[in-house]
Amino acid sequence: MAELTRDEQISILKEKLASAKSVAVLTGAGISAESGVPTFRGKDGLWKQYRATDLATPEAFAQDPRLVWEFYNWRREVLKPLKPNPGHFALVELEKRIPRFTLITQNIDGFHHTAGNQNVVELHGNIWRLRCTGCGTVTEDRTVPLPDLPACSKCGALLRPDVVWFGEMLDPTILEAAYEALQFSQVMMVVGTSGIVQPAASMGMNAKRQGAFVVEINLEATPYTGVYDLNIQGKSGETLPLLL
């Protein structure tokens, strides 16, 4: 069979979305990179002489919370002036058109909320939320920069970013919401994700096994390219608006 052109693939996906009652979308760093967010794995993924993977751990926070907060304050400063891009806004528009729409994201930048999506499952947390290490209270705070060692207004204990660090478990309730969306989705789009970090990496296959039509939209090939029903190469900020 002749390989489909990009236009043909987009046309097929538009048809599928037009008749779908339930859609799940998984987004990764690629969609945010188009808004100027440095990626963990990209060439911009370094901070001072540290690797992000060395600082975003419970061990690093226990050992030197000030250093970890310095890193997160820097990340918040980088994110503060950035805005959602046309890819984010296209997903907001899709959510309005589809009866059951779930947006699962690996990103912690909060852009999907800012853009206007309602049903968002944040697998790895949100950098604008703070969690108390004492009483567990979670609050949103967009102050930049925060104090070196921010304290809880309720109990005075040290606050930490409400994100999932390397070596930590994902919140079971959030994971359950994601898997429930996959179970019911007729169409699933996997957008801007490298397909390396589990459990998100295998969510597309999970949906496919349950009968969903699965489409990958990514700048480059991933381990799942060729396995999904469609693989549309290109920027999500250019591709997603075409679906409207």
* Residue positions annotated with a catalytic role: 124
146 vs 136: CA distance, rounded Å: 18
Between the CA atoms of 175, 78, 219 and 196, what dihedral angle is there, to the nearest 10 degrees? -40
Cβ-contact 24, 207 below 8 angstroms: yes
| Span between the terminal Cα atoms of the chain, in Å | 28
Nearest to 112 by CA among 238, 234, 26: 26
* Prior bond of 38 cis (ω within 30°): no
Tokens standing for residue 228: 């999904």
Contacts of 167 (CB under 8 A, 6+ apart): 57, 58, 59
Name the residue among 5, 22, 9, 42 with its Cα closest to residue 192.
42
Pairing of strands 50-51, 46-47: antiparallel
3-class secondary structure, 235: coil
